[in-house]
Structure 1
């Protein structure tokens, strides 16, 4: 990557024709335009050697000038202020590309120019993923420095091209040019933003669909609402937080659709968010369904398109297959009453994935509904049209242009550090990483106004950050403005570290959202590649200005005592009531919060859901009796162990190994060998003043610090849920193990709230071009229903 300290080389020709031409800029005008070039003589002695410097770091030591010019003559070619030029580079490397933003003579009598550098795609964070960029594309950077005028090789023709959303595979019509640019690349925030405003809203809307027959954008009829699609939704934590945060900014963001392959997670979303169309299917099948839905909408004239109205199946197929609705003996004919649902897949498990409809048969009830392939509905075109028309009007499925916001965290198990067989050379060839492709293909098809992708920090670490760079490359190839960031969950009001990567995308017509600044002191324990350190939200922020970080006691000390074998997934609170502000707000009833009121239930007496631990085996439960109830306790406190001079745990040869009732050893061998005998995690007990590292999906204590401070059990589902910021009324479905998975996979709710607020402010044009924004609230107080008005009022008062 080209950086601001790359040394530019002078040309070899000593007698080259090089000079300024025309009259110099008047002294008065020069001092107004470039005041840092004309400091008092007493400060000129601070001039440093001729070397490139970063735009924002060189104000005090900027090269001093005796005069400025608007033109220069280089080898007989007139070069004007604002022209684009090739700049000499190291031997064997391509010329650098720059825009001349100043022409001046230094106080040493030498001619200089100030360059604002263009970056080729491979010189940005995209690196080797530059193959996704259209040929001739470059990005104007925010990096500037001073160079001798003799570094200029020649002029270059760089065209300014309006930024319009396109398909990632679509070539753009360009004027004659050597290169073109439509975006600015900002270091070190790794931001791609539009270089200039899109001319008009009408032109922008006509460009939001990727192909010619998609020329008309489908507008949301509910103008006061913005529609959100939550992909890989899990139990709905990310969209829950986003909608709450958007409400705090004055925007009504509605999670219109949610998609996840986990059936239990989908049940959780349905119960907590009945306003959402929840689809339990693979994201790849969902994408195929969207394409088929678009064809049906075109076929019945609901949207413009190239698909003509034709029968659903042809006569030949019907003759070969016979009447699909006949009984096997041919004596009874079933009549279709209506179609009630649609999917793409293999709901009959016949190994024949196809477009299917759920059929309600005349004279039969809901329990007798069956899934039928579209090829079997050739004589039901009226019913099909009725279903598609009704679904179109109710936004049953999203269509290109009808989605305001898509969020989601595509699973990438192939980058996990626990996976010994990771494909470091070609990560996208690993089937476990290919949901990233699907996610971006859905974005490419739907063209939402905003995109937010979440993932683990390994996205930027594994294989030189290949998958993170891929995500940015795909978005930029579609001409989305993008910004990379990282957020620590505990920095927004939780007793948990949990560092995660987020990537914003915004259409050229929209403001690119910033990242919310932290509200609480929580130090990052996760190593981050140097290239990405400054995208951590709050990097360089004075921690003393923030609230103290929350602790485990702040979050869970009020919860009722339960045993290892707790069977009830619903119970009441202790009579003592909440002990901290966090507990006060996390215990609010649904009707008192910003979360949609029609979700779940709201009883007179609040109910505590899912306060159950994973039931440990008899052996593991017996082992817990040996873990002292003190800070830092773990398996090392079991009898018969000691630490050697290398801080490695060893068996004491003078002490006989104690056995459990089952005959197995109290100290298991796997705990001893974990992390070269140096780990403190196996059978680790949490403590009240702890900030948990990361809530995980598995509750086994074999290699995790997950035991309750005072009770001989692991932290319950509800305790983990509180560490993730779920309100207590948020009910989860499935076996206890499945509930842990849903909570552990979730985006921490307060992080979603903070990002939702940033989205809401940007979507109203109320943010500037800064990469961060200060929050006018803190979690969980912001959950209150009246917090919406307070947050908006405070923000506008600023």
Structure 2
């Protein structure tokens, strides 16, 4: 992001061709000896006489010794009396070895030699400084010692001279011009209406508040020499190291007083919108330039959300940051009013706390590391709700013992067979948190069957995420209708799932010829379960006197004659939490499918990705988060989420979380870095309520063979160790053989569901894979002496295909091409080789058969 103001152009009145220079010594220097005074008088006489009688001097350099400063005078090369002026200068230098004046032909330079503690450095470090000159040249020395600062006076006006090198401003990259090109002079402040104001801050206070700006007096010159080179800031842009002379509390620009802590607009870059910053320093440098330090605010478009999704966030909302840099004083354009408010997921209540007369407001911080939006850091003794680390290293558990031991409920969206939720629950158990998958949603009925087997206590729903969201909204209305919200939930004694054999043998059951009577309501759904294109809210009805095979889905409007049955169902469902209400869910996890971003999709909509129905599930996922308001959110997806259409969908997802006042963090993690035998890079988006600690990413534990490319713009989102940590020792990368080499061989006729391993594990991964669920969850349970291997079955082939497979050599990349008798022509076309006799199987059929279209 560009955060530097542009460099204002110098005004013509500040440029001079020649100069009249008055030199004054500092009042702080010690009294000179008589010899030095004499030398100075001689120097003064020389300059006065040479300027009044002739303009033959082509250049003058005044070199500062340990107690004297220097001034440069530049003027055009004269056409006459050149030699005479030079001879007079040489005679003066020869007569007084302490004279600070030396005459150099062809060019006029000012060389300020820093007084170094070590004498061997005296002749090494110099800083060249230039001033422009006016038309008529008249040099005179003023020996008054009462004035505190040296000045250069040009026709009665004060000219602050500047060093040759430029100050780099935020967002402006330094050009790579040749060093022999003449650089533009830098002005302190072009406009006399812009200046530091008031008395300087006392040295003791300044050193306490900004210790990084000052060094011990005995090392000051050494520090100046060591900082003569340029450094680079956080954005890899070159910065000039400014040597601060003193700090101020105020500045005055065009009759407006600015104080430390004021929020201001700062001049934008190349006509762009002004930047927004908070003034944290006013200071003057040793070369008399006025600067301020700004701590920057980010607009939404300046963050990872970018302009493409900035409309998700209030235009008046800003994000504070730790990014700071120095800028010339006259880059400030105006004061603004920015207020701090508390984040609140109740956006209506939050809006009421924002003053109507403010220009902007802020409630979070932003960091480019992992694109993190987090709670503001506490001031002084305020308690912190945020965590400063982005990754898990030795982060102390911030939750209380009560929270650690409490039960947390998880909703798994797009659950599949429950792999993501199972992994989260196992990880939570290691951390001492009892996280249970209370609800799961998936459209695939076979996946839902597996979920019910693995998580028998979960409410598994076989429906689309859109319909799940609609039934949640209808469920909330029903709970409100029967005044259940806010009441204490009772321990459920019976499950709502009716046993198929229940009520069998009921003597009072009516015959089918009687009037149908609703016995119980079993389930609730939203959609079109009867496939009649009639979408709405439906209940599954168990009819009195009938079995489960006669259960039907009936709309709510068809149950108006039995409101007591509806109320009974809703009441029992509320106490058993068959559906989550806002505030019930602690964690929502899921990986919304985005086939529209897949590289295999040749018809991807790059211009408007959200208009593609295949990408709409990201919107649905965030809509469910907005409705249920869980404490934590974890969304997983492929890296193409950040590659496709400049990362539009990834930016949208984090923008939605931030718009809901969630803290958020975006990271890229490779499964291979955690002991898995594949690279498998994935995007993980964390979200957390303002009242919670934003979770950090675990650092890799294993080396990994890198595959694929991380988008350049999201390189800082890759979860990895600091490359500067040379003491880091990671475990060796896990490869495929580490996972499967302990598996026993099987034949084509193997039919057993359970078989013993038959050998001992050889790697850590093999030992882990043999652990029982109880051991993984940290539950003390008796382990079987020999672990059992489940479902180690091959796909059974017919005898001919089995014979063909046996002929394929056991080496990497081997396939049907190794069977022989084939010719590969242009465009990879495969044909039978007529020159080779066809090889036959035991059945008499050829080994290779080519399928041809009819």
Alignment correspondent of 2:789? 608
> Alpha-carbon deviation of 1:457?
0.3
The alignment partner of 1:174 has SS state of coil
The 10-residue stretch of structure 1 (450-459 or 530-539) with the greater mean CA deviation from structure 2: 530-539
The C-alpha deviation readout for 1:290-342, integer Å capped at 9, x for no partner, is: 0010001000001169xxxxxxxxxxxxxxxxxxxxxxx99521222221221
Alignment correspondent of 1:555? 739
The C-alpha deviation readout for 1:432-468, integer Å capped at 9, x for no partner, is: 1111111011011111111110000000001101110
Tell me if the contact between 1:227 and 1:404 (Cα under 8 Å) persists in the aligned partners.
yes
Quick one: distance in 2 between partners of 1:303 and 1:222?
27
Alignment correspondent of 1:36? 212
The alignment partner of 1:258 has SS state of strand
The alignment partner of 1:592 has SS state of helix
1:179 matches 2:360: yes
- For structure 1, list consecutive stretches of 5 or more residues without a partner in the other structure: 204-219, 306-328, 670-798
1:6-17 aligned at under 5 Å gives the runs: 6=4, 8-10=6-8, 14-17=190-193
Alignment correspondent of 1:269? 451
> Alpha-carbon deviation of 1:597?
10
Quick one: distance in 2 between partners of 1:641 and 1:87?
73
Alignment correspondent of 2:773? 590
Quick one: distance in 1 between partners of 2:778 and 2:416?
17
> Alpha-carbon deviation of 1:271?
0.8
The one of 248, 253, 258 equivalent to 1:74 is 253
Tell me if the contact between 2:804 and 2:847 (Cα under 8 Å) persists in the aligned partners.
no
The C-alpha deviation readout for 1:603-642, integer Å capped at 9, x for no partner, is: 8975433323455788976664454323565667565899
Alignment correspondent of 2:285? 106
Quick one: distance in 1 between partners of 2:794 and 2:619?
36
> Alpha-carbon deviation of 1:377?
1.1
* Cα separation, partners in 2 of 1:651 and 1:172, compared to 1, 3 Å: farther
* Cα separation, partners in 2 of 1:641 and 1:38, compared to 1, 3 Å: farther
1:519 matches 2:693: no
1:623-638 aligned at under 5 Å gives the runs: 624-625=805-806, 627-631=808-812, 633=814
Alignment correspondent of 1:188? 369
Tell me if the contact between 1:641 and 1:650 (Cα under 8 Å) persists in the aligned partners.
no
Quick one: distance in 2 between partners of 1:597 and 1:343?
40
Quick one: distance in 2 between partners of 1:495 and 1:658?
43
* Cα separation, partners in 2 of 1:548 and 1:57, compared to 1, 3 Å: farther
Tell me if the contact between 2:819 and 2:848 (Cα under 8 Å) persists in the aligned partners.
no
* Cα separation, partners in 2 of 1:354 and 1:27, compared to 1, 3 Å: same
Tell me if the contact between 1:11 and 1:88 (Cα under 8 Å) persists in the aligned partners.
no
1:152 matches 2:336: no
Alignment correspondent of 2:762? 579
Tell me if the contact between 1:184 and 1:195 (Cα under 8 Å) persists in the aligned partners.
yes
Quick one: distance in 1 between partners of 2:404 and 2:475?
21
Quick one: distance in 1 between partners of 2:460 and 2:287?
70
The C-alpha deviation readout for 1:47-91, integer Å capped at 9, x for no partner, is: 3688983289999x7532111222111121111112111111223
The one of 570, 595, 599 equivalent to 1:417 is 599
> Alpha-carbon deviation of 1:658?
8.4
* Cα separation, partners in 2 of 1:69 and 1:228, compared to 1, 3 Å: same
Quick one: distance in 2 between partners of 1:401 and 1:359?
29
The C-alpha deviation readout for 1:619-669, integer Å capped at 9, x for no partner, is: 97666445432356566756589999xxx9898999958868676957999
With CA pairs under 8 Å and 6+ residues apart, which has the higher RCO, 1 or 2? 1
* Cα separation, partners in 2 of 1:547 and 1:379, compared to 1, 3 Å: same
The one of 299, 310, 314 equivalent to 1:120 is 299
The one of 258, 264, 267 equivalent to 1:88 is 267
Alignment correspondent of 1:442? 624
- For structure 2, list consecutive stretches of 5 or more residues without a partner in the other structure: 12-189, 386-401, 488-510
The alignment partner of 1:102 has SS state of strand
* Cα separation, partners in 2 of 1:494 and 1:75, compared to 1, 3 Å: same
Quick one: distance in 1 between partners of 2:279 and 2:236?
17
Quick one: distance in 1 between partners of 2:783 and 2:851?
46
The one of 514, 531, 545 equivalent to 2:713 is 531
Alignment correspondent of 1:321? none
1:53 matches 2:233: yes
> Alpha-carbon deviation of 1:427?
0.8
Alignment correspondent of 1:141? 321
The one of 165, 176, 195 equivalent to 2:345 is 165
> Alpha-carbon deviation of 1:129?
0.6
> Alpha-carbon deviation of 1:180?
1.6
* Cα separation, partners in 2 of 1:15 and 1:589, compared to 1, 3 Å: closer
Tell me if the contact between 1:53 and 1:144 (Cα under 8 Å) persists in the aligned partners.
no
Quick one: distance in 2 between partners of 1:658 and 1:290?
68
> Alpha-carbon deviation of 1:585?
2.6
Quick one: distance in 2 between partners of 1:445 and 1:231?
14
* Cα separation, partners in 2 of 1:52 and 1:667, compared to 1, 3 Å: farther
Larger Rg over CA atoms: 2
The C-alpha deviation readout for 1:340-366, integer Å capped at 9, x for no partner, is: 221112222222122111222223333
Tell me if the contact between 1:97 and 1:117 (Cα under 8 Å) persists in the aligned partners.
yes
The 10-residue stretch of structure 1 (622-631 or 517-526) with the greater mean CA deviation from structure 2: 622-631
1:21 matches 2:19: no
TM-score, scaled relative to structure 1: 0.71
> Alpha-carbon deviation of 1:10?
2.9
The alignment partner of 1:414 has SS state of helix
Quick one: distance in 2 between partners of 1:469 and 1:337?
50
Quick one: distance in 1 between partners of 2:568 and 2:785?
42
The one of 393, 417, 431 equivalent to 1:235 is 417
Aligned length: 625
Tell me if the contact between 1:50 and 1:147 (Cα under 8 Å) persists in the aligned partners.
no
* Cα separation, partners in 2 of 1:652 and 1:352, compared to 1, 3 Å: closer
> Alpha-carbon deviation of 1:586?
1.4
* Cα separation, partners in 2 of 1:369 and 1:75, compared to 1, 3 Å: same
